[in-house]
Amino acid sequence: MQIDATGLGKRFQRDWIYRGLTRTFRPGSATAVLGPNGAGKSTLLNTLSGQLLPTEGTLAYTLAGQPLAVEAVPRHLAYAAPYLDLLEELTLTELLRFHTQFKPLRPGVSIDGLIGIMYLEGARQRLVREFSSGMKQRLKLGLALYADAPLLLLDEPTTNLDATGAAWFQEHVRATRAGRTVLLSSNVPAEYAFCDAELLVTDFQGPRPR
């Protein structure tokens, strides 16, 4: 999916979070959205993906050469973020069956195959509520990386992962990024090393209203 942002700005109450962002995000590109805590990385990801309305500027989406209405973007979006919760009262198998009804997996990947990829074979019948934070994060990432969705948003993807988990993320993001538009917010250089572009949110912090 291509995203064309023109003069994009977002303000909460009196504070501009970013302003004057004009940029094209193309299929096949992976952009690291950078900036210190509170700079506006998550806000920018949420605006670019149509989850939050911009205060000013425009966003245009194109999929396979055709314009795409903002309302249709969620259908083509896979999103993993610390503030997006899993359905924790389900077992792993139940959750995967439910989730993949509205967010199918990539062709050739089955629920069983994904469980293996996530190293969660021993947890098939366990409630997600009982998972460790690292297991939950592998589940969130596995669902996003292996969704059949051309727009992939990853907000601080290695949160709660140990070194093995972080290496697992690197392996699987590299295996699944081809042809997709990837936006990744991060403060961890090793996490976004695979990205081919960077966007520093603080470069787009316009004048504050008086």
Ligand X SMILES: Nc1ncnc2c1ncn2[C@@H]1O[C@H](COP(=O)(O)OP(=O)(O)OP(=O)(O)O)[C@@H](O)[C@H]1O
Q: Which is nearer to ligand X, 27 or 82 (CB)?
A: 82
In three-state secondary structure terms, 1 is coil
Query: Which of 35, 142, 150, 165 touches ligand X (CB under 6 A)?
Result: 35
Taking the complex as a whole, the smallest distance from the CB of residue 80 to ligand X amounts, in Å, to 14
**Residue 98 interacting with ligand X (CB under 6 A):** no
Q: Considering the complex, what minimum distance in angstroms separates the CB of residue 43 from ligand X?
A: 3
Q: What are the residue ranges of helices labelled H in the chain?
A: 41-48, 92-102, 111-117, 133-145, 163-176
The b/e string for 182-195 (b: 16+ C-beta within 10 A; e otherwise) is bbbbbeeeebbeeb
x/- contact string, 43-82, with ligand X (CB under 6 A)? Answer: x---------------------------------------
Task: Kindly state whether residue 83 participates in binding ligand X, applying the rule CB under 6 A.
Answer: no
The only residue of 3, 16, 21, 42 in contact with ligand X, by rule CB under 6 A:
42
21, 32, 39, 183: which one binds ligand X (CB under 6 A): 39
Site string for ligand X, 180-199 (x = CB under 6 A): -----x--------------
Distance CA 181, CA 5 (A): 14
Residue with Cβ nearer ligand X (93 or 205): 205
We find the least distance from the C-beta atom of residue 192 to ligand X, in angstroms, to be 13
Cα separation, 101 vs 13, in Å, equals 38
The verdict on 17 binding ligand X (CB under 6 A) reads: yes
Kindly provide the residue ranges of all beta strands, DSSP E only, lying in the chain, ordered along the sequence: 2-12, 15-25, 30-34, 56-63, 66-68, 77-80, 151-155, 181-186, 197-200
Q: Which stretch binds ligand X (CB under 6 A): 35-43, 110-118, 126-134, 137-145?
A: 35-43
Dihedral (CA of 126, 132, 138, 143) sign: positive
CB burial readout 125-153, b (16+ within 10 A) else e: eeebeebeebbbbbbbbbbbbbbebbbbb
Nearest CB to ligand X, comparing residues 83 and 102: 83
> Quick check: 19 binds ligand X (CB under 6 A)?
no
Distance (Å, rounded) from C-alpha 159 to C-alpha 190?
12
Number of residues that bind ligand X (CB under 6 A): 11
Which residues bind to ligand X, rule: CB under 6 A?
12, 17, 35, 37-43, 185
